[in-house]
Structure 1
Amino acid sequence: MTQENVKVLIIGSGPAGYTAAIYASRAGLNPVLYTGGEPGGQLTTTTDVENFPGYAEGVSGPQMMMDLQKQAERFGTDIRFGLATSVDFSSYPHKVIIDEKHEITAESVIISTGASVKYLGLESESRLLNKGVSGCAVCDGFFYKGKVVAVVGGGDTAAEEALYLSNICPKVYLIVRRDELRASKIMQKRVMDNANIEILWNSSTEEVLGVEEVEGMRIVNNVTGEKTEYDINGFFVAIGHKPNTDIFKDYLETDETGYLIVEPGSSRTKIEGVFVTGDAADKIYRQAVTAAGSGCMGALDAERFLAAKEAEAV
């Protein structure tokens, strides 16, 4: 196994990882960034981004990630394709194994591995992704203003997405597989009191309909087996996210879902020299701009940590 020592190792790309790289490289920390299994993160599957500051005419997700990568490379970030397959944070400096064959000893580690949207697993859902199927109403809802849409899920996230869409869409179907919502009581009341939201109880999606774009959906009643087709233009899946944090769980604290826990108002973890940015820790906002902001925090926290280490050694 090959070995290497680095000052700052950034695991993951996306807005958080690339922003951390921009700040760390400008600070002269010579960061090494490994892109992970999905270079660019979730935004590479997003067709249009219109809510990121600086892009007045909007930009495609892949293009924005290319822009961030070029900016990070401009200041000297060493960007590499590879996947962190295991870590050892039991001693300092920290050890990270890349692709099970390359060991990196890092004085600081910035985790920017993000989270993945959970989908239903339907062929039609996958085929129509970004053609009417989305995992984020706040990101993509604007494109369906004045149209009929559907949201899948029964928790707080689904309720929030349905409520958000109800402000811009005349009709929102909320597809709930049971006869009750899992959302908090206050969210349940808001959904049920909203005239633009119709709840389809005991229902599951059999197929998203459409060839080039979403045109409808076929819903099956889980009690009666009855199938019904509805005309819709947008299909939003809100059944949760899975943070990409499994390799860190032996060393870092997580919540019940797997999101890494950081000190409030920082990117610091309980292990010195290990920082978390973006959707690996953020289960509330999950936006490109907030991920980028936390990437800045991670780099600044790492810079201060390393400066303090150097001062101790003098």
Structure 2
Amino acid sequence: MEKEIRDVVIIGTGPAGYTAAIYTGRANLKPLVIEGVQPGGQLMITTEIENFPGFPEGINGPELMSRMRQQAERFNAEFAYGSVVEADLSRSPFSLTLDDGREIVARSLIIATGANAKWLGIPSEDRYRGRGVSACATCDGFFFKECNVFVVGGGDTAMEEALYLTKFASKVTLVHRREEFRASKIMSLRAGKNPKIATILNVVVDEILGDGSKVTGIRLKDVRSGELIDHVCDGVFVAIGHAPNAGLFSGQLAIDDYGYIETKKSSTETSVQGVFACGDVQDYTYRQAVTAVGSGCMAAVDAERFLESIR
């Protein structure tokens, strides 16, 4: 099979990938976008987005992603369904192999593969995801005004989620499987001093309870005695971390201790010249749709300037 040679290849189709496609397409670079196994990214399972600028009435995730894709197509971005299973970044131009055997050569590469929230892995969690179960307080906290919610986790992420939720919820309960939280001391103190936050330690989530349409409670299991205790609540926030989708580039790009692709300051350039990363695969701090869009724009501009420099 003859290899295709492209000026720009974008891997991933969340807000960052679509934005990079819009900008590189508009620059007449004819980008090829590899969609991945979940075109549209995490927002495809987000029911309502109320904090994305330009939509005062809110918009659901799939519709927003559909609009971004249409805009990229308007500027002649080409989409290829499938995943990259092998990437050789050892020399330029870069070589990519798709799961259908297709080989692509890219003069510049934009990685927008995102990150996935880590979940508990219980069936009831999937059943009520988007109906009371969430992994993003910043995204969904607004919907839990004057509600009783639980946050599962023991690190800084869990503390941050719990503190943020106190802006809306009437009560927030932190649950953790160990005797002590593993969060930093300052974050633990902040959570401990907040009168809205309660804690339950030495427990794991056995089941998320609901009436078929929404969450109504949570069943916790004491790790010492095995006792099961049901608690009434309106929502459950899972805050046990995120897993960036950067494994394909391990050993080829600089990746930090948490698995995120490292980029240079005020840039999306990675440790390999001509390779850029944007969105949640390199953002361990914000992880918002709007910040992903911003970094997608940056990656497109960086790629365009790189191509100009090698012509």
Query: Which residue identity is paired with 1:67?
Result: R
Contact 2:218 2:230 in 1 (8 A): yes
Tell whether 2:174 aligns with 1:174: yes
Query: Mapping of 1:122-201 within 5 angstroms?
Result: 122-201=122-201
TM superposition score normalised by structure 1: 0.97
Q: Secondary structure at the match of 1:151?
A: strand
String of CA shifts for 1:223-260, please: whole Å, max 9, x gaps: 22222111111110000111111111120011112110
**What is the Cα deviation at residue 168 of structure 1?**
1.3
Aligned partner of 1:75 in structure 2 is 75
Distance in 1 between residues matched to 2:189 and 2:225, nearest whole Å:
27
- Structure 2 distance, partners of 1:43, 1:227, is 34
The corresponding residue for 1:19 is 19
Partner of 2:39: 39
Partner amino acid, structure 2, of 1:63: E
Aligned to 1:238: 239
The CA deviation at 1:145 is 1.1
The 1:48/1:42 distance shift into structure 2, 3 A limit, reads same
Residues 33 and 79 in structure 1, CA contact (< 8 A), matched pair in contact too:
yes
CA distance in structure 1 between the aligned counterparts of 2:272 and 2:169, rounded to whole angstroms = 46
- Give the letter aligned to residue 27 of structure 1: A
Q: Distance in 2 between matches of 1:42 and 1:112?
A: 12
**2-side partners of 1:86 and 1:154: how far apart?**
36
SS class of match (2:3): strand
Q: Which residue of 2 aligns with 1:261?
A: 262
Q: Number of residues paired by the alignment?
A: 310
Residue 179 of structure 1 aligns to a residue whose secondary structure is: coil
Shift of 1:222: 1.0
Q: CA deviation at 1:188?
A: 0.5
State the Cα distance separating 1:100 from its structure 2 match.
5.0
- What corresponds to 1:101 in structure 2? 101
- Taking the TM superposition and a 5 Å limit, the aligned residue runs for 1:268-279 are 268-279=269-280
Determine the C-alpha separation between the residues in 2 that align with 1:3 and 1:99.
14
What SS class does the counterpart of residue 255 from structure 1 fall into? Answer: coil
- Distance in 1 (alpha carbons) for counterparts of 2:248 and 2:100: 12
Query: In 2, distance between residues paired with 1:201 and 1:250?
Result: 38
Query: SS of 2:215's equivalent?
Result: coil
Task: Indicate yes or no: 2:115 matched with 1:115.
Answer: yes
Return 5+ residue gaps in structure 1 as ranges.
none
Give the letter aligned to residue 192 of structure 1. Answer: G
The SS at the match of 2:43 is helix
Given that residues 2 and 101 in structure 1 are in contact (C-alpha distance below 8 angstroms), is that contact kept between their aligned partners in structure 2?
no
Bigger CA drift: 276-285 or 95-104?
95-104
Cα distance in 2 for partners of 1:48, 1:20 equals: 23
What amino acid sits opposite 2:257 in the alignment? E
Distance 1:172 1:158 in 2: 11
- Structure 1 stretches of 4+ with a deviation exceeding 2 A read none
CA distance in 1, matches of 2:303, 2:12: 16
Contact 2:82 2:100 (8 Å CA) reproduced? no
* AA in 1 matched with 2:195: A
Residue 2 of structure 1, CA deviation: 4.4
Counterpart in 2 of 1:49?
49
Q: Using the alignment, how far apart are the partners of 2:233 and 2:167 within structure 1?
A: 16
Distance, in Å, in 1 between the alignment partners of 2:88 and 2:34 is 17
Distance in 1 separating the partners of 2:238 and 2:2? 42
Tell me the alpha carbon deviations over residues 121-150 of structure 1, each in whole angstroms, 9 at most, x when there is no partner. Answer: 111011111010011010011001110101
Cα distance between partner residues in 1 of 2:276 and 2:220: 44
Partner of 1:227: 228
List alignment gaps of at least 5 residues for structure 2: none
Relative to the length of structure 2, the TM-score reads: 0.98
Q: SS of the counterpart of 2:268? A: coil
- Between the two proteins, what is the percent identity of the paired residues? 50
Give me the whole-angstrom Cα distance separating, in 1, the residues matched to 2:297 and 2:201: 43
Distance in 2, Cα, partners of 1:144 & 1:169: 6
Secondary structure of the structure 2 residue equivalent to 1:65:
helix
Is the contact made by 1:117 and 1:240 (CA closer than 8 Å) also made in structure 2?
yes
> What is the RMSD of the two structures over their aligned residues, measured on CA atoms?
0.8
Cα deviation for residue 264 of structure 1 reads 1.2
Report if the CA contact (8 A) 1:85-1:100 is conserved. Answer: no
